[in-house]
Amino acid sequence: MLNKEFLNFAVLMLNKDKSNHIFSAVLFMFIVFILSAVLFISNSIQNDMLLTLDSQAQIIVKNQKAGKHTQITDEYLDEIIQINGIENIEGKIEGYYYFAQDDRYFHIFGNDDTPFDKVTIGEGVKDILDKFYYKEYFNFITDEKILKVFIDKTIPKEANIISNDIMILNTQKASMVLGLDENEYSYLQITIPKDSEIDFIANKIKFIYPHLKIETKEQLQSNIKHLFYYKGGLFMILYIVVLLSFFILLKNQIDNTIGTSRKNIAILRAIGYSINNIILLKFIQNIIISLGSYTIGVVGAYIYVFKLDAPLLKYLFLGSEISNNISFTPTINFEILFLIFIFTIIPFLSAVILPSWKIAISDINEAMR
């Protein structure tokens, strides 16, 4: 009986009872919006971090003292370079500078290509410096002296979310800001031409220097994918709220079906509609509600994250240690969106179809009372 007239009738019935469906539609939309927004933010941050990691060497070597990260010297570099299979080893300068005027930390990177007296800053850093009228230059206050650098470039927020809080200095200047000597580095970066030798060389370095922290690119990628687990409590609360909302949604749908729809189903049976036709009618009505709500929820989440930069929700991921003037790189995981589709729409439809079927097969006179 699926024809144009039947579809028109289903839409008319849906419009007639729209007041009974508004709450369900809005709640369904809210659930999909929250789940999709969290998915978009998480995927965008992970994608940017993984892209940044792709440009790094295969092994990172860091020194530790009393369980904390500390500088590593040329002595380690000279010894490690003797291991067969290593193509190149380079000392890198990286760390954090505390800006007391605003109680913030800036992420410092050393780069040989940056002029000695200049600095390239991220968008978040620029916003903070502008508040204190550092328009053209900035003064680093160290234990020994004040180091003045001129602001050369600002990395646009669209470039990469990781660039928001960084300051790129000349390597020598970065060492001075972080209080490192000429023969000291933040970590060593090792390039290995053969991927099959990465784990072997990493284990060999670990055997020679058990106190050093050795991380391969594969391990770093795995750590990035699990980066947000430390905030599992916050996300668990979020998902519990969404789950409770979903159960409220299902209960509302069941109540609507058992309540207002009971007499309508009985009338349809009385005028000749078969059980299959009634189930099809309910399916069409609620697939319109669920698909419409799902689509609006996903599109709304996309606009919220990638056009409006996810106000409020982004702080669950990024915190508020730096001005979060960032732009999320559009990244969509269609597999997860499909799972959200399956695990929301199917229970939603089931909460309507099953009660409707029970009413449809029951005694008509009983349902009319």
What are the structural domain ranges in the chain? 4-51+228-368, 59-216
Name the residue type at position 20.
Answer: N
Q: What integer pLDDT is reported at residue 230 of this predicted model?
A: 44
Instruction: Give the predicted TM-score (pTM) of the model.
Output: 0.74
- The mean per-residue pLDDT over the stretch 157-176 comes to 85
- In which element (H, E) is residue 189 found? strand 187-191
How much is the pLDDT for 163? 78
Tally of helices (H runs) and strands (E runs) in the chain:
13, 13
Using one digit for the tens of pLDDT, what is the confidence trace for 6-34?
778 777 877 777 777 788 788 889 888 98
* Helix, strand, coil content of the chain in percent (nearest 5): 60, 20, 25
pLDDT at residue 301 greater than cutoff 90: yes
Q: Tell me which DSSP letter residue 304 carries.
A: I
pLDDT in tens, 109-148: 999 999 999 999 988 899 899 999 899 999 999 887 899 9
Rounded Cα distance between 205 and 213, Å, is 10
User: How many Cα atoms occupy the beta-carbon half-sphere of 354 within 13 Å?
Assistant: 11
| Pick from 65, 69, 59: nearest CA to 90 | 59
Using DSSP, state whether 200 is helix, strand or coil. Answer: helix
> Which tokens hold the place of 183?
């023969």
pLDDT (0 to 100) of residue 232: 45
pLDDT tens, residue by residue, 122-131: 888 998 999 9
pLDDT band of 178, cuts 50, 70, 90: very high
How sure is the predictor about 329, in pLDDT bands with cuts at 50, 70 and 90?
Answer: confident
Rounded CA-CA distance 30/296 in Å is 9
Cα(199)–Cα(204) distance, integer angstroms: 9
**CA Rg, the chain, in Å?**
30
Phi then psi for 184, rounded to 5 degrees? -115, 145
Confidence of residue 54 (pLDDT cuts 50, 70, 90): confident
pLDDT for residue 176 is more than 80: yes
Strands 137-141 and 146-155: antiparallel
pLDDT given at position 364 = 59
pLDDT of residue 30: 86
